[in-house]
Structure 1
Amino acid sequence: MITTEQAKEYLASVGITLPDFILQALVDQVNSIQECLDANYPASTAMLIQLYLLGLMGLAQGDKYLSSQSAPSGASRSFRYQSFSDRWKGSLSLLRGLDKYGCATSLTPPDPTQQAFAGIWIGKGGCFCQK
C-alpha cells in the first residue's frame, strides 16, 4: 500500500503538486489494485506500478508544474521538463512496461494528448474517355 506521504514525495520529485484531498483520493484509487499486484508482482515492482499510475493520474489533473522556486535565504531551484505529451507517454510506457498483468489498466486515465479529427472526404468521379 502506498501512503499519502510516499505519494506526495514521489509526485514532488517529478514536479507535480496536488491538494491533499485530491492526493488522498488518488492514493485510495491506486491502493484499490493492491490485491492484483500482490498476486502477480514482488513488492518493489508493485510499488513502482502504483507510483507510475499515481504519476499518470497526477499528470491528468492538469499541466501545472514547478518551474522555479526561491527562498528568503536566496536559495532557489528550477526544473526543466519535456512537453506534457512526452511526459505522459514516458510515464505510460513505464507503467505498461511493468504492469504485464494489467492490474492498473482500468484505473489508467485516458490519454489527454490524443486528438480526434473528423472531416468529409469527397470524391468526384468522371470519365477519362478519349474521343
Structure 2
Amino acid sequence: MITSEQAKQYLQSQGIDAGTTPDFIIIGWVELANSVNDCLDANYSANTALLIQCYLISLMAYAQSDKMLSSQTSPSGAARSFKYKNFADRWKAQLNLLRGLDKSGCTTDLIPPDPTQNSFAGIWLGKGGCL
C-alpha cells in the first residue's frame, strides 16, 4: 500500500513538481493505485508492489502534464527552472517499467489511455458543381 507522502516523494524524485499538484489529486491517484492491492499482494512482494504503484502514479502524473522541475536554488537567490522532455519517450519508458513489473496485469485497467496516440490526419475532398 502506497501512501500520499511516498507518492509525492517519488514524483519529486522523477522531476515532477508534486508541490504544485493539489493534495486531492495525489490522494485520488493513491486511492486508485491502492485499489489493486489484493491483486498485487497475491502476486508480488511488498517492495515490488510498491514500485508498481509508484510507476502507475507517475503515469497518471505524466498524462496530466509534461512540465518537469529541472533545478531549484534558494538561500535568497530563489530560482526555478523547468524542462520539457520528449513526452512520448518519457511516457513509454514509464509504461514499460510498470508493465515489466506487473506481469499479472493488476494495473492494466487503471493505466490512462496513451496520450501520444491521439494524432489524427486526414484529407477532406469536396466535389461541387452548378445547377
User: TM-score normalised by the shorter chain: which range applies?
Assistant: 0.7 to 0.9
2:4 corresponds to: 4
Residues 1-131 of structure 1: matches in 2 within 5 Å?
1-16=1-16, 17=18, 18-74=21-77, 82-119=85-122
Contact residue 73 and residue 79 of structure 2 kept, 8 A? yes
Q: How many residue pairs align between the two structures? A: 122
Q: How far does residue 80 in structure 1 lie from its aligned partner after superposition? A: 5.7
Indicate the structure with greater helix content.
2
CA distance in 2, matches of 1:44, 1:78: 33
- Name which one, 1 or 2, has greater alpha-carbon Rg: 1
CA distance in 2, matches of 1:114, 1:12: 26
Q: How far does residue 75 in structure 1 lie from its aligned partner after superposition? A: 7.7
CA distance in 2, matches of 1:81, 1:13: 16
The alignment's TM-score, normalised by the length of structure 1, stands at 0.82
CA distance in 2, matches of 1:70, 1:119: 47
Contact residue 7 and residue 54 of structure 2 kept, 8 A? yes
CA distance in 1, matches of 2:73, 2:54: 27
CA distance in 1, matches of 2:122, 2:86: 28
RMSD over equivalenced CA pairs, Å: 2.3
